Amino acid sequence: MPQLDLLINGEIRPATTGTYFDSIDPSTGEIFARVANAGMEDMRAAIRAARASFDSGRWSQLTVAERGPYLVKIAHLIRANAKELADLETRDTGKTLKQTTFIDIPTCADTFEYFGKISTELNRRINPVPATVKSTTVHEPIGVVGCIIPWNYPLIMAGWKMAPALAAGNTIVFKPSSTASVSLLKLAQLIDEAGLPAGVVNIVPSTNHDVVSELARSKDVNMISFTGGTETGQRIMKLGAETTKKLSLELGGKSPNIVFEDCEFEAAIGGTMSAIFMNQGQMCTAGSRLLLQDTLYDRFLGVLIEKTRALKIGNASSYETQFGPLVSIAHRDSVLTYIKKGLQEGAELVCGGNIPEGDSFKRGAYLEPTIFAGVRNKMTIAQEEIFGPVLSVIKFSTTDEAVEIANDSPYGLAAMVWTKDPKKAETVSRRLASGIVWINTYGGFYNEASFGGYKQSGFGRALGLEGLLEYTQSKHVCADQTPGGQPLVATWF
């Protein structure tokens, strides 16, 4: 059984508490690894290491070109260990092996490589001010960045947060979810192998909420980059306010998936299934509200139900599995509570909604993919983030009605529009209060393009130029160039 330790100040070591917590394979219910459980002393040591490393300048004072090869080497090491990382991610989270192999691991590696090869994005900018001065804007690293992530995409989130933060010259204290830490501690070994200066990256999983709070409130941490639930993000905001640190928050979602009668039917069916059933619906961008135009409603829903019932549910480690378990039995029970609430509020359960029958499903965290029809947008299942494979289907008649329903949510992370009419697609996308809108597709995330939310889905951006600059602070350097060196201010008094 693997036993994985912390990365603090360039050393892979056990927690000072001497304790470990179990990682449970949600496909089987079996313990498959043990993870060092960081205590308060470990978190403080990690923060001190990151602070000392940043203040020494041995990373922050390197040029972008000098930092880049370290990130590229991490990318190469991820690819060289891709099979082990994919297996660990699958056993830790319940993601299908197909997904971890072809999406999660390559995406993580590509993100490190992309930000390792940036060249001009952080260059000095000369400002054309109307004065006899040389006005220059420079982007400098913020300092120590605390990264806190959820359990649904551990390695992808690591790439999204670590790579741009490191490229910008920051040092990192990384706190993964205790529900999914195994692949990240394997990544810690690869980062250590890549030879970054001690203290630049520190990885400290913990089951102790006070340990996480220490990261958010420490005066030695300059920024928190958090991905997770909205309520937790609000608590992070309060803790961060004690030291007025910068925050980047990517929070919950209840994304509308709008399907018009003039859609490409088969593409919209497939895209709808991917948007709600990929990763068993455990995605902040999940298209969990399906808005169907009335003229298409019955036909589309019938085909969707038929295809959903045909999905092969099973052990996530099998390449034949299309739909694996949820991350834990506790989380599955939470999703079942929402399914019960949907029934109580009058929604029609037309597909799934139960634990699948059979001996192979008894110990795992399995749940059938679930579809509710006849949903009203004010119902709980249409307003609250379930974070599971539960689709709420809502009927609309006009474009204005679709936009009104889509925006009637506290969240604004993502949205999808399916139509063959480019003008309609463009018009609707501009009216949607979402940080990203996919037209006739779903799930396009690119290192070159930013990602983030509106409203209670948070603020700040990942990826793209915006995501890189998120981990910097700008400085204006203004140098007088008056002939004779006598600017007006020198003779004012």
Q: Quick one: pLDDT at residue 96? A: 97
Question: Are the CB atoms for 304 and 272 separated by under 8 Å?
Answer: yes
390 φ/ψ angles, rounded to the nearest 5 degrees:
-125, 115
250 part of the active site: yes
Number of domains in the chain: 2
Residue 280 lies in a domain: yes
Residue 374 lies in a domain: yes
Residues 240 and 273 in one domain: no
Residue 322 lies in a domain: yes
What is the percentage of the chain residues whose pLDDT exceeds 70? 100
Residues 175 and 294 in one domain: no
Residue 449 lies in a domain: no
* Average pLDDT over all residues of the chain: 97
46-62 pLDDT per residue, tens? 999 999 999 999 999 99
Residue 344 lies in a domain: yes
Question: Are the CB atoms for 361 and 355 separated by under 8 Å?
Answer: yes
Cα–Cα–Cα angle for 486, 492, 493, rounded to 5 degrees: 120
Residues 208 and 265 in one domain: no
Residue 489 lies in a domain: no
Residues 336 and 415 in one domain: yes
The Cα 44–Cα 124 span in angstroms is 35
Three-state SS across 29-78? Answer: CEEEEEEECCCHHHHHHHHHHHHHHHHHCCCCCCCHHHHHHHHHHHHHHH
Residues 233 and 289 in one domain: no
Answer yes or no: is pLDDT of 120 > 90. no
461-489 pLDDT per residue, tens? 999 999 999 999 999 999 999 998 889 89
Residues 245 and 296 in one domain: no
224-260 pLDDT per residue, tens? 999 999 999 999 999 999 999 999 999 999 999 999 9
284 part of the active site: yes
Residues 429 and 323 in one domain: yes
Residue 135 lies in a domain: yes
The one catalytic residue among 113, 214, 250, 470: 250
Residues 129 and 244 in one domain: yes
Residues 162 and 81 in one domain: yes
Residues 243 and 190 in one domain: yes
Structural domain boundaries, residue 375: 256-439
The one catalytic residue among 284, 368, 385, 470: 284
Residue 450 lies in a domain: no
Answer yes or no: is pLDDT of 360 > 90. no
Residues 229 and 303 in one domain: no
Residues 247 and 260 in one domain: no
pTM of the model: 0.96
The Cα 128–Cα 108 span in angstroms is 39
Question: CATH number, domain at 71?
Answer: 3.40.605.10
Q: Quick one: pLDDT at residue 119? A: 87
Question: CATH number, domain at 336?
Answer: 3.40.309.10
269-323 pLDDT per residue, tens? 999 999 999 999 999 999 999 999 999 999 999 999 999 999 999 999 999 999 9
